[in-house]
Amino acid sequence: MQVLAQLPKASRHRWFRSMTSTQALVQSIFGNLKAYDSVHLLKGLVDDQGLPLFDTAILTAENVSMGHPLTILNEPVPASIDIFLSGPFRIAVQCTLMEQDAGKCSSVTWGHCNGSYAVQMGSQERCYLTDKGLRYWEYIPMVFSWASNVNHSPCPLQNNFQLVRRIFAASMGPDGKFSPKRGHAILVYDDRNPSFKKGGRGFEAYESIRAALRYPTLLRKCSWQRLIEHMRSRSALPWLTVELEKKYGL
């Protein structure tokens, strides 16, 4: 019950009970690490390039939250971060499992935008979100090499929208000021998912956004397989890793 309580029912996705639910997997792993006061066992885990993922954060149960709200963007309903580690050094994690991309911009999905960063469809600004008072393009030039005062086709946010949110959550302060020393974002993916292999949509979205970052190490990636093998090497919750093998083959 302690694990389930960490993510209220109102915050659960429609397919939370599905075998392919990323949210359920996140809760199973990070929720149990938190409940059993074992978050510190993430120390030493490295990303795909050998860079440390969690060593600079305060690794305590109190510092880990699921569904953390991102409030600096002036969104009517603040975006929620899958896993967030608070403290002097902050880490924002985006988790995927069966997803085929890195999180597209909903403006295109809902037909408010044609996928370009340009004045269109009766808007006053180049971005539909800016037109509605959201602050993405106010912050983007601080963090990325994308200029806000010129057109882009396609819009650089189109296929990596969720990753941009995680980077903002880690590196932007509540006052809207950016610091590369404040934290970093992590993409966690399933190594068996073709979309996150070279040439796949998820992989290409990750690579394109990392190439545009003024400080590329603000974004890192790690597979579920690497994370769980690290847990096994540290004898972290062995009963859980056994069940993850049975249910997900991880």
Give the pLDDT confidence of 120-178 residue by residue, as tens digits: 988 899 999 999 999 999 999 999 999 999 999 999 999 999 999 999 999 999 999 99
What percent of the chain has pLDDT above 70?
A: 92
Beta carbons of 43 and 59 less than 8 angstroms apart: yes
Question: Is pLDDT at 76 greater than 60 in this prediction?
Answer: yes
Q: What is the pLDDT of residues 87-124, one digit of tens each?
A: 999 999 999 999 998 889 989 878 899 999 999 988 89
At what angle are helices 136-143 and 161-171 packed, to 10 degrees? Answer: 70
* Single-letter amino acid, residue 192: R
Beta carbons of 122 and 114 less than 8 angstroms apart: no
Give pTM, 2 decimals: 0.91
Domain limits, CATH 3.40.1350, in the chain: 18-103+162-248
Through-space distance between the first and last CA atoms of the chain, rounded to whole angstroms: 24
Annotation: CATH topology of 18-103+162-248 = Trna Endonuclease; Chain: A, domain 1 (3.40.1350)
Q: What is the pLDDT of residues 191-204, one digit of tens each?
A: 999 999 999 999 99
Backbone phi, psi, residue 216, to 5°: -55, -30
Q: Could you tell me the pLDDT band of residue 9, with boundaries at 50, 70 and 90? A: low
